[in-house]
């Protein structure tokens, strides 16, 4: 029997609509009863805050921020904080739900959470960003902590933002609390390899898919949508593996060169000028063109809802590895499956970030830090194991990799809550 979450029968946000549709399909496959289905489809806790920030011109601006904990069944909630004008409660709920399934797919002892502030960081000074971050951190400090909920970077947040959150939280405690956030700078308890971890995990998966399909990542052509943390590191590591990155875009458009972009120079141009389009190599391309470009591997690494029913029939990539969260709608998923495109879902393909966040959390709690080789080796082992488990799950009965990953993730969270029972 199919039911939808009572909290929001008509989701307004496309990401939340995608997350609920995916969840309900998997709940059917797993045969969850109505009570479990409703419990698992709803966020355990959510916080909305309106908070004031003094802007540089002396005016007071009120921002709206959120922190949602989807599930704490398997351990402390874990998930990033996003700064973007489109951030809203439903989007954060969707991202928190995906975090719960993702942590379970790669078998980390974490629940799922997400947070965000509706703002346009590109129009704010560093001082305004710092004041907004510190006040937001203070507002959500009743929710977060090393034992209960650990934020990390997401779209438009970075190691500096994590440093401000860690400092704000620590000021209230009176001592340094390393485990309150991950993705911190190395100098204050960050982990080697965290910055590149999402992109590295995506690259490891892309390479495994090619190998399993009887090919090789060496010489494979790759197109990447989104040239931020996830996209640039994936591009660099895939190019080091021998792949040819023929196209990349950011929100303003991008570049295409069939002989392969010089990834290091493209990253430098993006860093120095803020726009990948300023890298003068090959031809200018739009995001629509990139998504429909002939290539072996397409990596969406920007935002949700990019591959939809309207462009999926024109996608020519053989393999899609989702570095972004929720880039493919369920309608597009069906079309891609029918067209024989292998789609490695977000909750597996971008799990590298939360895996190394887990390492950072462990290191911070032990005050004992590992070298880069150790982090990379442990990351690779977990990613490959999880990929093998998802592929095995997808074999009998035959389901897509997304269905298999969700069955694994939702199944593990279900097992945890069943074992723990219902309190009181
Ligand atoms: P980021 O802010 O560093 O980069 C986002 C990039 O996407 C920017 O280059 C931006 O210009 C580009 N972009 C935005 N809208 C676009 C559009 N319509 N078309 C093309 N490009 C566009 O963010 P990030 O941390 O790299 O996150 C990207 C995605 O990866 C998000 O979905 C995020 O949730 C997911 N993710 C990130 C991490 C992480 O560790 N950073 C971990 C897991 C998942």
Domain assignment present for residue 309? The answer is yes
**Are both 171 and 55 inside the same structural domain?**
yes
- CATH number at 78 reads 3.40.50.10860
Interval between CA 8 and ligand 1 midpoint (Å):
26
Q: Alpha carbon 51 to chain centroid distance?
A: 26
Instruction: Please state the domain count of the chain.
Output: 2
Within a domain: residue 170? yes
The domain boundary residue, chosen from 316, 349, 382: 349
Same domain? For 216 and 78 the reply is no
Answer yes or no: do 330 and 203 share one domain: yes
Asked if 160 and 208 sit in the same domain, the reply is no
Partners of 223 in beta bridges: 247, 298
The reply to whether 114 belongs to the active site is yes
32 inside domain: no
Residue minimizing CA distance to atom 31 of ligand 1:
324
Report the C-alpha dihedral over residues 87, 98, 197, 356, rounded to 10 degrees: 110
Tell me the torsion sign for CA atoms 408, 26, 45, 352. positive
Q: Based on the fold, state whether residues 154 and 207 are members of the same structural domain.
A: no
CA angle 203, 205, 210 (to 5 degrees): 95
Residue 310 lies inside a defined structural domain of this protein = yes
CA distance 368 to 79: 23
CA 250 to chain centre: 17
What is the domain range of residue 168?
44-175
Q: Whose CA is nearest to atom 19 of ligand 1?
A: 251
Q: Are 230 and 333 within one domain?
A: yes
* Residue 18 near ligand 1, beta carbon < 6 Å: no
Asked if residue 324 belongs to a domain, the reply is: yes
Q: So what's the pLDDT on residue 153?
A: 95
Q: How far is the CA of 233 from the centre of ligand 1 (A)?
A: 11
Asked if 232 and 165 sit in the same domain, the reply is no
DSSP code of residue 178: G
Which numbered atom of ligand 1 lies nearest the CA of 304?
32
Instruction: Let me know whether 150 and 231 are in one domain.
Output: no
Among 349, 364, 398, give the residue marking a domain's end.
Answer: 349
DSSP 50-79: EEEEE-TTS-EEEEEEEEEEEE-TTSSEEE
How crowded is residue 365: how many other Cβ atoms within 10 Å of its Cβ? 13
Four-CA torsion 158, 159, 164, 170, nearest 10 degrees: 130
Look at residue 274 and tell me if it is in a domain.
yes
CA atoms of 117 and 7, how far apart (whole Å): 21
329 neighbors 39 (Cβ within 8 angstroms): no
The one-digit pLDDT tens for each residue of the chain (424 residues) are: 344 445 556 899 999 999 999 999 999 999 999 999 999 999 999 999 999 999 999 999 999 999 999 999 999 999 999 999 999 999 999 999 999 999 999 999 999 999 999 999 999 999 999 999 999 999 999 999 999 999 999 999 999 999 999 999 999 999 999 999 999 999 999 999 999 999 999 999 999 999 999 999 999 999 999 999 999 999 999 999 999 999 999 999 999 999 999 999 999 999 999 999 999 899 999 999 999 999 999 999 999 999 999 999 999 999 999 999 999 999 999 999 999 999 999 999 999 999 999 999 999 999 999 999 999 999 999 999 999 999 999 998 899 999 999 999 999 999 999 999 999 9
Q: Cα(348) to centroid of ligand 1, in Å?
A: 16
212's tokens: 């399993």
Is residue 215 assigned to a domain? yes
CATH at 231: 3.40.50.720
In a domain, 275, yes or no: yes
pLDDT (0 to 100) of residue 7: 55
Same domain, 231 and 96: no
Give dist(CA 203, CA 239) in Å, integer: 9
pLDDT at 4: 46
Q: Are residues 233 and 156 in the same domain?
A: no
Q: Tell whether ligand 1 has an atom less than 6 A from the beta carbon of residue 356.
A: no
Q: Among 303, 304, 326, 346, which residue has the most ligand 1 atoms within 8 Å of its CB, making it the best to mutate? A: 303
Which residue in the list 78, 102, 114, 318 is annotated as catalytic? Answer: 114
- Tell me which of 302, 321, 349 is where a domain ends: 349
> Which residue, chain included where needed, has tokens 């993730």?
409
Residues 99 and 227 in one domain: no
Query: Do 239 and 169 share a structural domain?
Result: no
């Amino acid at each position: 029997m199919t039911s939808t979450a009572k909290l929001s029968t008509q989701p307004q946000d496309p990401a939340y609509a995608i997350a609920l549709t995916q969840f309900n399909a998997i709940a059917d496959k797993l045969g969850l009863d109505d009570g479990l289905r409703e419990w698992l489809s709803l966020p355990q806790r959510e916080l909305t805050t309106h908070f004031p920030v003094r802007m540089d011109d002396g005016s007071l601006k009120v921002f709206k921020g959120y922190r949602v904990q989807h599930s704490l069944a398997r351990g402390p909630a874990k998930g990033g904080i996003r700064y973007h004008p489109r951030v809203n409660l439903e989007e954060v709920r969707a991202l928190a739900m995906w975090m719960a399934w993702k942590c379970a797919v790669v078998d980390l002892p974490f629940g799922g959470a997400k947070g965000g502030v509706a703002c346009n960081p590109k129009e704010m000074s560093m001082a305004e960003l710092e004041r907004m971050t510190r006040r937001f951190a203070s507002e959500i400090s009743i929710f977060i902590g090393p034992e209960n909920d650990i934020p990390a970077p997401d779209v438009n947040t970075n190691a500096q933002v994590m440093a401000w959150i860690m400092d704000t939280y620590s000021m209230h405690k009176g001592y340094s609390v390393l485990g309150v956030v991950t993705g911190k700078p190395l100098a204050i308890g960050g982990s080697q390899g965290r910055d590149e971890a999402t992109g590295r995990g995506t690259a490891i998966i892309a390479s495994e898919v090619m190998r399993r399909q009887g090919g090789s990542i060496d010489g494979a052509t790759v197109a990447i949508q989104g040239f931020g943390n996830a996209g640039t590191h994936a591009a660099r590591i895939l190019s080091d593996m021998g792949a040819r990155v023929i196209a990349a875009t950011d929100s303003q458009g991008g570049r295409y060169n069939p002989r392969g972009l010089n990834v290091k120079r493209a990253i430098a141009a993006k860093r120095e000028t803020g726009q990948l389009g300023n890298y003068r190599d090959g031809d200018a391309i739009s995001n629509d063109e990139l998504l429909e470009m002939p290539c072996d591997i397409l990596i969406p690494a920007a935002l949700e809802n990019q591959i939809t029913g309207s462009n999926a029939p024109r996608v020519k990539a053989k393999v899609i590895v989702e570095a972004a969260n929720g880039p493919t709608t369920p309608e597009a998923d069906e079309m891609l499956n029918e067209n024989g495109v292998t789609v490695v879902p977000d909750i597996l393909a971008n799990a590298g970030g939360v895996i190394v966040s887990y390492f950072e959390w462990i290191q911070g709690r032990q005050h004992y830090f590992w070298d880069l080789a150790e982090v990379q080796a442990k990351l690779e082992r977990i990613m490959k194991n999880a990929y093998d488990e998802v592929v095995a799950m997808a074999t009998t009965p035959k389901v897509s990799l997304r269905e298999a990953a969700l069955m694994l993730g939702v199944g593990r969270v279900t097992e945890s809550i069943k074992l723990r029972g219902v309190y009181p």
